[in-house]
A and B are shown apart, each in its own frame.
Chain A
Amino acid sequence: MTTAIPTFSKATAAATILLVGSVSWALLGAGLQVLSTLQLLIPALAYVLPIPWISYGKLAPLTTFLFTYGWITSGFLGVLTILIPRISGIPFRYGRILGSAAIIWQVAVLVGLAEILWNGSTGLISMPFSRSVTALFFLSFIVLGTGLSRGLGRSWKSGPLLPRLYLLGALIAFPLGLGTAELLLRGGLAPGALQIMMQFVWNSFVHHLWLTPLALVLLFQLLPVLTGRPVGSLSLGILCWVATITLGGWIGNSLASEGPVPSWLQSAGVVTTLLLGVAVWGNGTLLKPLLEGKWEECRRQVALRFLAVGLWSYLASYAWLAFLALPAVRQTTTFTMVGQATQTLLLFSFYGNVLAGAVYALLPASRMIGWPSHPTLTIHFWFSTIGLTLIASSYALAGFFQGLALNDPGVPMSTISSYLRPFLCTVLVGQVLWWIGQLSFSTLFFASLLKLFPSVAPVAIFPVDYDEQPQPVRQGQH
């Protein structure tokens, strides 16, 4: 990364607003998620305390909204606002406008939250908010997206190519997908079953053409820098990029089983999911060698360890999606909790870990702060990792049992609910652990931001090595 950018750039305020928003939404979402699982686990709670705005039907879509648009998207935009000027060598101008756009994004999330709590979700997949929230997202994205795309411009012929390619794809896919979805779903242009197809397409855009490419920008940029190794084959990287951008929007249909989606489209979804699995495997062969023999550094460096877990989660998520797309598996798992397992793998394990790693790696460069080698780092990593493992595995097992039971007409629905309880208990434990992990990260994040710790090394080191001297990092390496 270039050192041409002063540590305090004009986008510092925007990045800080986006990251503070991200951390706060994650904390709130984690708390509400625990509450919603508690309601699913103990239905009697709803009888004891029937409050409309904390019912499961409102909390479930609300938490997904907070995690997708509040935590992950806001966080990715925040770290990219720090990273992109450093890749391109072009500092942002108009810092106040960028800062305003960052505030508008947070306002959009807040309005969406209030709407879902008071009026309920729209029921549309990945679009539980109203037009006004879409308008705010668009307004904010126009400014932030323009800023980020401007940062791509001058250095196209030099520097790392793959991160910029993924960023380009994501920056075009998001407004195109959101605009099309808004027009077709709420503009009255898509009748009947076409609306459901559009919801699947939009869901694919959000995850596989927007958030996955943004996570790959960070992986392809930060892993080579942190490990000091270049990515092996650019040609393979470009091939995988083309496959990701071309096939990512088709995945949603692979999870539909009969019903409103035509069978050829479901088959196309299966084929594209399997092909995308090959592209992901290709990316894996490019990124995994960067970590080979770097176990000791992964053990020491917080950012590298989170990014490594993010990389493995990326491979696991898409292998899982390819497995679910197989027709025999899909028939069992459609309309089950396997969907929540997929969401946990993608949203929390893959995007969440990459985001955490990026924040640990990039925040010092933006704010001239250091991460203290504090036990909360260890708490953040282990509680999050153990929590997510519990959540994903419990949801996956619960989903398979649920699917098998649903396909056995002799099993009554109330019995199926009782089958799910032990798994939901484990999910609840996992969610509490993850919440504690987020709480420790937030504490550290805000304390570092407010410079409550004495100035320490700009690379976060796990406290296992506290007695060792942190490795000196060259000024402006980030």
Chain B
Amino acid sequence: MKSGQALFIVFASLLFTWAGQIALGYFQVGRLEPILNEETNYTEPPVPSGLAQTGARVFASQGCLECHSLSVRGPSGSADLTRGWGPRRTVPRDYLFREPALIGSSRIGSDLSNIGLRIPDSKDLMLHLWNPRLRNSNSTCPPHPWLFERKVAGPKIENDALPLPTKDWKQILPKYQAKSLVAYLQSLHSDYALPEAPIK
């Protein structure tokens, strides 16, 4: 075999790999657009807030993906829907405004694609981040106290202070990272129907 032939085969093979997956994938998935809900006049999937987008990066940086997935599978061959992890299966359009788009690799904890539906209250999510065993004594999720700070309470308790008994007159306040992470988790919900994934 001549070196020119070998080079040609390598480039052709890699082009086949690249074009077959990324270029074709772009035409199928990369050009998806949101659907306009004529009743609410909002687009679906909804555009997350800036705070939630920052939270997506905090979510990744804290390594939540090592134990949680972000993809609900359909009823054939999986129990994701029966477990109540979402009202329907996840489809490519659901990731449209997710930056970075993440999927996770393991389910040591539950799927979080619809955590915003399952735990809608931000206080509950904050408490979970502070100490997951406050809500579920069997939780294997680690606490994230570094996302909070203790501050001496003023004349009154601040609105976003965690509803926990204070020690030494100190209240527990979420840092910006915790706030953005909770905003991101609240933005994770697919309670809207899409043409390719209707809610039954």
Is A245 part of the contact surface with B, judged by Cβ < 8 Å? Answer: yes
B residues 1-51 near A (Cβ < 8 Å) are: 1-3, 6-7, 9-11, 13-14, 16-18, 20-22, 25-26, 28-30, 32
A192 adjacent to B29 (CB under 8 Å) = yes
Instruction: Find chain A residues with CB under 8 A from B91 CB.
Output: 259-260
In angstroms, Cα B20 to Cα A119, docked, is: 35
Q: Could you say which residues of chain A place their CB within 8 Å of the CB of B59?
A: 123
Is the Cβ of A201 less than 8 Å from the Cβ of B92? no
Query: Can you list, as one digit per residue, whether each of A148-180 has a CB less than 8 Å from chain B (1) or not (0)?
Result: 000011001000010001001100110010001
Residues of A within 8 A of B83 (CB): 409
Residues of A within 8 A of B102 (CB): 123-124, 196
Please report the C-alpha to C-alpha distance between residue A332 and residue B79 in the assembled complex, in whole angstroms.
Answer: 10
User: Would you list which residues of chain B between 63 and 109 have a CB under 8 Å from chain A?
Assistant: 63-67, 69, 71-74, 77-79, 82-83, 89-109
Cβ of A402 < 8 Å from any Cβ of B?
yes
Q: Is there a chain B Cβ closer than 8 Å to A121's Cβ?
A: yes
Give A173 to B11 CA distance when docked, in angstroms: 9
**A50-B142, A119-B61, A185-B100 known; A331 and B77 CB under 8 Å?**
yes
A257 with B63, Cβ < 8 A, contacts A194-B22, A197-B22, A238-B1 known: no
For the complex, give the distance between the alpha carbons of A161 and B5 in Å.
Answer: 13
Q: Please encode chain B, from 115 to 150, with 1 for each CB lying within 8 Å of some chain A CB and 0 for all others.
A: 000000000000000010100101111111110000
Complex: how many Å from CA A46 to CA B10? Answer: 48
- B110 in the interface (beta carbon within 8 A): yes
How far is B9's CA from A88's CA once the two chains are assembled, in angstroms? 21
Assuming A191-B30, A192-B101, is B145 touching A407 (CB within 8 A)? no
Q: Is A246 within 8 A of B29, CB to CB?
A: no
Q: Which residue of B lies closest to A234 (CB)?
A: B1
In the complex, which of the residues A43, A191, A253, A261 has the most CB atoms of chain B within 10 Å of its own CB atom?
A191
| Interface stretch (choices A333-341, A363-371, A426-434, A447-455) | A333-341
Write the chain A residue with the least CB distance to B107: A335
Asked whether any CB of chain B lies closer than 8 Å to the CB of A52, the reply is yes
Partner of B96, one of A192, A253, A408, A409: A192
**Among A46, A123, A193, A414, which residue has its beta carbon within 8 angstroms of that of B29?**
A193
The interface on chain B, measured as residues whose beta carbon lies within 8 A of the other chain's beta carbons, has a size of 77
* A259 B73 Cβ-Cβ under 8 A: yes
The contact string, 1 if C-beta is below 8 Å from chain B, for chain A 245-261, is 11011100100111111
CB <8 Å contact, A121 and B60:
yes
Q: Of A123, A152, A246, A258, which is within 8 A of B17 by CB?
A: A246
Interface centre among B1, B111, B139 (most CB of A within 10 A): B1
The reply to whether A413 and B30 form a contact with Cβ atoms under 8 Å apart is no
Task: Compute how far the CA of A328 lies from the CA of B1 in the bound complex, rounded to whole angstroms.
Answer: 41
CB under 8 Å from chain B, chain A span 97-132: 119-125
Instruction: Closest B residue to A59 by CB, please name it.
Output: B63
State whether A246 and B22 are in contact (beta carbons under 8 Å apart), knowing that A120-B62, A123-B100, A335-B107 are contacts in the complex.
no
Query: When the two chains form their complex, are residues A168 and B106 in contact, meaning their CB atoms are under 8 A apart?
Result: no
A60 with B25: in contact, given A55-B142, A119-B61 (CB under 8 Å)?
A: no
Chain B nearest Cβ from A84, distance in angstroms: 15
Asked whether A262 lies within 8 Å of B25 as measured between CB atoms, the reply is yes
| B residues near A39, Cβ cutoff 8 Å | 142
| Interface assignment of A141: CB less than 8 Å from any CB of chain B | no
Interface residues on A, range: 35 or more
Report chain B residues within 8 Å CB of A185. Answer: 100
Closest B residue by C-beta to A421:
B140
Given A192-B30, A250-B20, A260-B71, does the pair A121, B77 have CB atoms closer than 8 Å?
no
Known: A156-B2, A253-B21. A124 touches B100 (CB 8 A): yes
**Majority SS at the chain B contact face:** loop
Residue from the list A61, A257, A407 in contact with B79, Cβ < 8 A = A407
User: Could you tell me the distance between the alpha carbons of A124 and B60 in the complex, rounded to whole angstroms?
Assistant: 8
A residues within 8 A CB of B110? 413
Instruction: Write out the residue numbers on chain A whose beta carbons fall within 8 Å of the beta carbon of B73.
Output: 257-259, 334
Of chain B, the residue at the smallest CB distance from A335 is B107
Q: Which residue of B lies closest to A256 (CB)?
A: B103
- A82 within 8 A of partner (CB): no
Chain A residues positioned under 8 Å from B1 (CB to CB):
161, 165, 238
- Is B16's CB under 8 angstroms from A246's CB? yes
Interface pair A262/B107, CB less than 8 Å apart: no
Q: How far, in Å, is B106 (CB) from chain A's closest CB?
A: 6
B106→A335 contact, CB < 8 A:
yes
CA distance A332 to B21 in the complex (A): 25
Q: Which residues of A approach B to under 8 Å, CB–CB?
A: 39-40, 43, 46-47, 50, 52, 55-58, 60-61, 119-125, 152-153, 156, 161, 165, 168-169, 172-173, 176, 180, 184-185, 190-199, 201, 209, 238, 242, 245-246, 248-250, 253, 256-262, 265, 268, 328, 331-332, 334-337, 339-340, 402, 406-409, 413-414, 417, 420
Give me 15 other A-B pairs in contact (C-beta within 8 A), A180-B18, A193-B93, A409-B83 excluded: A56-B142, A57-B67, A57-B142, A60-B66, A120-B62, A185-B100, A190-B22, A194-B30, A195-B100, A201-B17, A259-B91, A340-B106, A406-B79, A406-B107, A414-B139
